[in-house]
Structure 1
Amino acid sequence: MSKPRFLLVVFPAQGHVNPALQLAKRLVLIGCDVTFVTTIRAHRRMITKGGGSGGGNDNNIRDNNFTPPNGMSFTPFSDGYDEGFDKKPVDIIDYISELRHHGTQALKDLIQSGNNEGRPYTCMIYTLIMPWAADVAEELEISVALFWVQTATVFDVSYYYFHGYGDLIRDKYSNKDYLGSLTFPGLPLDLTVRDLPSFLVASDSDSKMGSFIKFFQEQFDVIDKESQRPKILINTFDALESEALRAISIDKLKMIGVGPLFNPIDVCESDDNKSMISEWLDSKPKGSVIYVSFGTIAVLSKLQMEEIAKGLLNFGRPFLWVIRENDKKAEEQEEEEEKLSCRGELEKLGMIVP
């Protein structure tokens, strides 16, 4: 009997890549073959920086000569931004459209290639903001599951937002009832508007957040129209979110906790940089440090970084500011007078890390 063969289709953000990579490794360990599919840009980042966990510190991948374990392969595709965004304004709707266009064809070609080789794919797993991948799986009659990289509670709240609770949430937000109680079926705690993901309470004037609402709406539309009971793999575990994993009727969808998905190397080992950060944090009063990070998608302009820097200085609290390697490279390429004007003052007050 041939091995089950999985396609793991991953949105090119580190918060998706890291847990997806750990999921892929677990599938390989139980005897499956896995083809990891993401963009060329994200794949390059995995190889040069590592993709083990939030710290991107997987020793197996940090080496540019990394060889995937038996049963695991990588097939990156171009989304039209192979060299990154280069600080150019990119409309998120246009980008997602390009990603869909290039990704759909890449998946179809890959699946067809597997069929031609006599090694067809048996299941596709895809991450958030990639609902078109499910459409490809449905069209080509491949079993499909969504890998939700956030918690089960966030999935439940998002599901309810698009299934009867959206008006209530929007009304509370528009009336500035930020602390009013919100109760969702099956969830053990009452929540408030302030507890919800920011994209769910975005105002109409916030075009970027409004775009994410559309993306999530499309995601849940795809889930609703699946011909078989939808399967949702969630980066959590039963002992942590047992009620949240069962909050939505099992007749509607099947939620499966597959977490926690992190790289144990990051927990068991530390390097000099981690020790330095830990020692610095331990030297500060509890709850006093501001954490600043904008993920792997946002590209900040020089002006925006200056404004953030001035805000941190004006606030006067210690901070830990994550500036990605590509941001630092762009900064180094600028003329000396174009670098952060207050870098010296910043480093006296807080810590800047890659």
Structure 2
Amino acid sequence: MEAEENIKLHAIMIPVPLQGHIVQFINLAINLASKGLTVTFVNTQSTHLRLKKAQSFSDSSLDYNIFSEARKSGLDIRYTTISDGFPLNFDRMGNHSQFMEGLFHVFSAHVDDLVANLVNSNHIPPVSCLIADTFFVWPSEIAKKYNLVNISMWSEPALAFTSYYHMDLLKANGHFGSQDNREDTINYIPGVQAIEPGDLPSYLQDTEPWDIMHRYIFKSLEDARKADMIICNTVQELESSTISALQEKKPFYALGPIFPKGFSKSAIPTNLWVESDCNEWLNSKPKGSVMYISFGSLASISRQDILEMAHGLLLSKASFLWVVRPDITWSLESNLLPSGFEDGVKERGLVVSWCNQIDVISHPAVGGFLTHCGWNSVLESIWCKVPMLCFPIFTDQFTNRKLVVDEWKVGFNLTEGRILKRQEIAQKIDCFITKVNELSINLEEARKQLEDALSENGSSGRNCKQLICDIKYKIQQKSKSSNKTSLLSYGN
């Protein structure tokens, strides 16, 4: 076996087919390829066609390479697509439970075929590792079958990961898995001083966690325990005690924030919706005067929540840019906004169906972000030093809110509970605008930690180098083990 430094790594990378996960995987692929790795990046065919449509490509074929610009710059990123097990015209969000059952039981067969072809096709360099989204249920089985280093990519903070990792501990202590979950403070998770039950990921708060989403999430986290190593889009300094405790159990690498180089709009398409250009409108607004409002690419809210938000904005005095996705209520209703809303806000409000968030959040006119607390949004806000007004909706967003408001103090809560009320919205937005300066010192400090982490000698830079060294060492181990097994078999 050749020396570690001479091993050329070839990683298969497969994200969950969701906007926030695809963005992180694409940025990670570019980062790893820039360090000499060969990457074969895999999207589902459905996701690929959505990316093309959002870029206004009329051609419906699957042969468009989203990494063509990256390849021109010398990065060895190869691109392919795979069926998710459903027809291309199947409504995945409209039939969400059925789609998740398919990802649970069927998708792995398509991945298996793909990996088998890649491993057996004499690629140079040969495929040596699998970097799969933690929210898949099959990586350990496929990595073992093809003798690949199994790397799980976690797209949320370490605090959310350790909450799932210690599900058994939560269950044993009565904080999870029953109709009478305890509601007192949780102070026994290693590396976590204290967390309230309401700050756990939503799937760990439910009193009857047995539907397809719960089964899928819990199975994927069970599979992640078998990974050789975990990559996490976080920063060592922001979650030091949590990460240190996890590293005692499993190789765990904080590589965040995983951003496009220079925190600029990527030449690689990552958006699943057509973007509106908001620059002209933003250019007309004073510095720091606009509240950006977005609930991300996946979270849904009720029609009533939309109405309460709209009336709250009518009552407030703030200028705002509000992203209202076509599928934000799951029902694809049209005319979600109340009659006369746009006339009521006149020049101070702009509503779009989607935008490039990096472009918007980095614009000087944006002075605050009313957010669902998706992890990408949190990291982007900190990078741009934009304070957050938090309204978590589901999954890790409650945990992220705890970090933003309680730990790092770079944001405030929009509501005291989970119900939106127009008067409270208006009051909180107007009050938020007058209090943002209180958060500026903390934002400066958090931004510096992100910036320092990404420097060549910063924590994320060092962790990335260590990750590559550890992958190479693991490949050597697997090769020696494989050779030993072959010799034993031959001897028998």
| Counterpart-to-counterpart distance in 2, 1:344 and 1:260 | 41
Q: Choose from 332, 338, 343 the match for 1:342.
A: 338
Aligned length: 315
Where structure 2 has 5 or more consecutive residues not aligned to the other structure, the ranges are 1-5, 56-64, 267-275, 355-492
Q: Which residue of 2 aligns with 1:144?
A: 150
How is 1:104-183 mapped onto 2 (pairs within 5 angstroms)? 104-119=108-123, 120-160=126-166, 162-166=167-171, 167-170=173-176, 174=180, 177=183, 180-183=184-187
Change (3 A) 1:327 1:76: farther
- Cross-structure match for 2:49: 44
- Structure 1's 256 and 64: CA in aligned 2 closer, same or farther, altered over 3 A? closer
Alpha-carbon distance change, 65 to 238 in structure 1, aligned in 2, over 3 angstroms: closer
- Is the contact between residue 232 and residue 254 of structure 2 (CA under 8 Å) also seen in structure 1? yes
> Cα deviations across residues 270-309 of structure 1 (Å, max 9, x unaligned)?
x96257458489336xxxx6844252476x8xxx5x4333
Closer, same or farther: CA 49–193 of 1 in aligned 2, 3 Å: same
Equivalent pair of 2:181/2:207 in contact (CA under 8 Å): no
Give the corresponding residue for 1:213.
214
**How many Å separate the matches in 1 of 2:246 and 2:221?**
14
Shift in CA distance, 222/45, structure 1 to aligned 2, threshold 3 Å: same
Is residue 82 of structure 2 the alignment partner of residue 77 of structure 1? yes
Distance of aligned partners of 1:65 and 1:233 in 2 relative to their CA distance in 1, 3 Å threshold = closer
* Helix, strand or coil at the partner of 2:307: helix
Select the structure of larger CA radius of gyration.
2
Structure 1 residue 325: deviation in Å? 6.4
* Secondary structure, counterpart of 1:239 in structure 2: coil
**CA distance in structure 1 between the aligned counterparts of 2:15 and 2:265, rounded to whole angstroms:** 27
Distance 1:73 1:326, change over 3 A: farther
The answer on whether the counterparts of 2:236 and 2:254 sit within 8 Å (CA) in structure 1 is yes
SS of the counterpart of 1:237? coil
Change (3 A) 1:30 1:95: same
Task: Summarize the Cα distance change of 1:249–1:268 in structure 2 as closer, same or farther, 3 Å threshold.
Answer: closer
Q: Which amino acid aligns with 1:202?
A: D
Return the match for 2:101 from 77, 97, 101.
97
| 1:253 and 2:211 correspond | no
Q: What letter is aligned with 1:146?
A: S
**Deviation of the 1:107 alpha carbon:** 2.2
Residue pair 2:307, 2:336 contacting (<8 A) in 1 also: no
Within the alignment, does 1:352 sit opposite 2:357 as a pair?
Answer: no
Give the Cα separation in 1 of the matches to 2:181 and 2:101.
Answer: 34
Say whether the 8 Å CA contact 1:11–1:17 is kept in structure 2.
yes
Q: Could you say if the C-alpha distance between residues 101 and 200 of structure 1 is closer, same or farther in structure 2, counting changes exceeding 3 Å?
A: closer
Q: CA deviation at 1:110?
A: 2.1
Counterparts in 2 of 1:87 and 1:255: CA distance versus 1, 3 Å: closer
Q: Indicate if the aligned counterparts of 2:67 and 2:79 stay in contact, CA closer than 8 A.
A: no
- TM-score using structure 1 length: 0.74
Shift of 1:15: 1.3
Q: Is the 2:101–2:212 contact (alpha carbons within 8 Å) kept by the matching residues of 1?
A: no
Matched, 1:198 2:202: yes
- Secondary structure of the residue aligned to 1:156 is helix
Residue 6 of structure 1 corresponds to 11
Structure 1 residue 2, shift from structure 2 partner? 6.5
Shift of 1:326: 7.2
CA separation in 1, counterparts of 2:16 and 2:35? Answer: 24
State whether residues 162 and 246 of structure 2, in contact with CA within 8 Å, keep that contact through their aligned partners in structure 1. Answer: yes
State which drifts further: 66-75 or 16-25: 66-75
Look up the equivalent residue of 1:116 and give its one-letter code.
Answer: N
**Letter paired with 1:99:** L
In structure 2, what is the Cα distance between the partners aligned to 1:27 and 1:87?
32
Shift in Å at residue 262 of structure 1? 1.2
Match of 2:238 among 234, 237, 240: 240
Deviations 1:66-93, CA, capped at 9 Å, x for gaps: 44423112212122153462763x142x
Q: 1:38 to 1:297 in 2, by over 3 A?
A: farther
Aligned equivalents of 1:196, 1:3: Cα separation in 2: 40
Instruction: Tell me how far apart the structure 2 counterparts of residues 138 and 294 of structure 1 sit (CA, whole Å).
Output: 35
TM-score by length of 2: 0.55
Query: What is the CA–CA distance in structure 2 between the aligned matches of 1:276 and 1:84, rounded to whole Å?
Result: 37
Once the two structures are superposed, residues 9-52 of structure 1 have per-residue CA deviations (whole angstroms, 9 ceiling, x without a partner) of 110011111111111111111111111112122223444558xx
Deviates more, 1:338-347 or 1:141-150: 338-347
Q: Which runs of 5+ in 1 are unaligned?
A: 51-62
- Counterpart of 2:88, as a letter, is D
Structure 1 residues 30-39 or 211-220, which shifts more? 211-220
